[in-house]
Homo-oligomer: A and B are copies of this chain.
């Protein structure tokens, strides 16, 4: 792998952790030598992608991505468009709803709206969602090309709970069902006691760019409920796509008015 690739993977790993790692942790988690990890961290820090706590010497994501994200969202306002629909869905379903985007070969959570109920599913932002074990992943795969499916199923399928489907043939069947239904269902694939209903967000070419998913405690979700969720989540996905690709889309000759500070 190129050095740049290693640095970006490091950044990705850093974003997945739920505690700030030290140098040794980073090296171990990324499978790098301590010296290499350090050089990468220093380089990333120079550019603001990583911050080191001056006291604890632990590392964390820096503020540079925030600036890049703002620029990206100013031109391609995926979150700005999608979040209101996620919120609406969370209100009507009374369950936790999350939005994921495909990026860098994986599907990752970029927004979550919690269920108003006390007993609810918690989803963390930044989580990678395995294709075979989540409704988001299945929804994404189902509407991707054949080669994307092959790629995903040719890798070893990790088991997260005793209910995780790890047989590629069975996953394939779930994908077929997802295509037939128009939405995906994953029961306890990643977490025990949780069932999710997801739909892909498609670009005008039909390529999925992400997904929107309702995650509910298993005890609250019977077949009828899930079908209801499937209908509303599919509708929301479609409306997000229409709004994202329909209106907006500026670019080209920007205003060029340089501001001042």
Binding site for B on A (CB under 8 A): 2-5, 7-9, 11-12, 15, 18-20, 39-40, 43-44, 46-49, 60-76, 78-79, 96, 98, 100-105, 107-112, 121-127, 129, 133-137, 186, 188-191, 194, 196, 198, 211, 213, 215, 251-261
Contact A259 B191 (CB under 8 A): yes
How far apart are the CA atoms of A4 and B125 in the complex, in Å? 26
Q: A123 to chain B: which residues have CB within 8 Å?
A: 259-261
CB distance from A109 to the nearest CB of B (A): 7
Contact B2 A43 (CB under 8 A): yes
Query: Besides the contacts A4-B43, A11-B68, A67-B101, what 6 more A-B pairs have beta carbons closer than 8 Å?
Result: A63-B103, A66-B79, A123-B261, A124-B255, A124-B257, A215-B260
How far apart are the CA atoms of A100 and B72 in the complex, in Å? 17
Contact A47 B258 (CB under 8 A): no
- Which residue of chain B lies nearest to A39 when distances are taken between CB atoms in the complex? B2
- Quick one: which of B46, B70, B108, B189 contacts A260, CB cutoff 8 A? B189
How far apart are the CA atoms of A32 and B15 in the complex, in Å? 29
Contact B122 A257 (CB under 8 A): yes
Q: Give the interface centre of A5, A111, A137 by most chain B CB atoms within 10 Å.
A: A5
Given the known interface contacts A65-B69, A66-B72, A103-B67, the answer about A260 and B134 at a Cβ–Cβ threshold of 8 Å is yes
Q: Nearest 9 CB-CB pairs, A to B?
A: A123-B259, A134-B261, A48-B103, A48-B104, A69-B69, A18-B254, A136-B261, A65-B68, A71-B126
- Quick one: which of B62, B122, B255 contacts A103, CB cutoff 8 A? B62
Contact A196 B15 (CB under 8 A): no
Given the known interface contacts A2-B43, A5-B46, A110-B67, the answer about A122 and B255 at a Cβ–Cβ threshold of 8 Å is yes
Contact A72 B65 (CB under 8 A): yes
